[in-house]
Structure formats: C-alpha cells, structure tokens
Amino acid sequence: MAIDKEWLVRKAQQAAPFEACGFIMEDGDIIEIANVSLAPMRAFKMDRDEMFEKLCDRVDFIQGIWHTHPGGSCHPSETDLDGITLGAIARHWDYYIVTATDVHMYSAEHYAPKEHSYWSRFGR
C-alpha cells in the first residue's frame, strides 16, 4: 500500500500551527478526524463521534494512525509515547508523524502493551 505522503505533508502545512490527525486505512485511504484537544498547538485528541461515524464499518481495516507535528520534530513526543504505551494505539498499527516536509513511520508494536488495548475489543 502506497501512502499519499504529499497529501499528509500538505495537511501538516495547512493545519499549522495546530496538529491534525486521523487514520490510514489498509487500502491507502487517509481519513482525517477533527482534533478536539484543549491544546491543539501541542497535542491531538480525536473527536470520538467523528471517529465512530467514519470508522464504524472500517475499523478492521486500519493500517495506522497519523498526526502532525507543527513544530517540525519527526520524533514521538512523550505524550505520543504515553498514548501508545497506555493502549490508545493498537500494536499492529503503524504510527505516522507528519511534519511540514516529511512523513515518518514508527511501529507501534515496539511501544504498545502486549495484552490490553482499547482497540482489542474491536478484534483483528
């Protein structure tokens, strides 16, 4: 599956100085979900209602999660790592950080808990 890196980079540029976020599906579709964080310039929190609306029929087909770093860092922040280790990201998903110039992919399985995840209730 080819990821539309150009679209993601454009989204990072357009959203700045705020973070944008969403999912990448196994078929390459990029789904944007509204960032409802109280501090959107340094964090993201996906809108639950919009997630349900856009993913309720597709959750088994998620390839990864993406979000932008308007400050330009391509490395996961402590907040990012906390979210992964607490189970907010499924182990089998890729984790993409998008800057204004590039897309960086990390494997969540290196950070995510082995036994419990919010997403495990949806099956794989």
The total of other beta-carbon atoms located within 10 Å of residue 110's CB is: 9
**In whole angstroms, what is the distance from residue 38 CA to residue 100 CA?**
22
Q: What is the distance in angstroms between the CA of the first residue and the CA of the last residue of the chain? A: 18
Instruction: Establish how many alpha carbons lie within 13 A of residue 42's alpha carbon, considering only the half-sphere containing its beta carbon.
Output: 4
Best CA proximity match to 35, nearest among 15, 24, 19, 49: 19
β-partners of residue 23 are 31, 65
pLDDT tens, position by position, 21-79 = 999 999 999 999 999 999 999 999 999 999 999 988 876 689 999 999 998 889 988 88
- Sole residue written with tokens 């990201």: 89
Tokens describing residue 22: 């969403």
pLDDT tens, position by position, 79-110 = 888 877 777 777 788 999 999 999 999 887 77
Question: Given 3.40.140.10, 1.10.510.10, 3.10.350.10, 3.40.640.10, which CATH number is that of 5-122?
Answer: 3.40.140.10
pLDDT tens, position by position, 106-124 = 887 776 655 555 555 555 4
pLDDT tens, position by position, 4-13 = 999 999 999 9
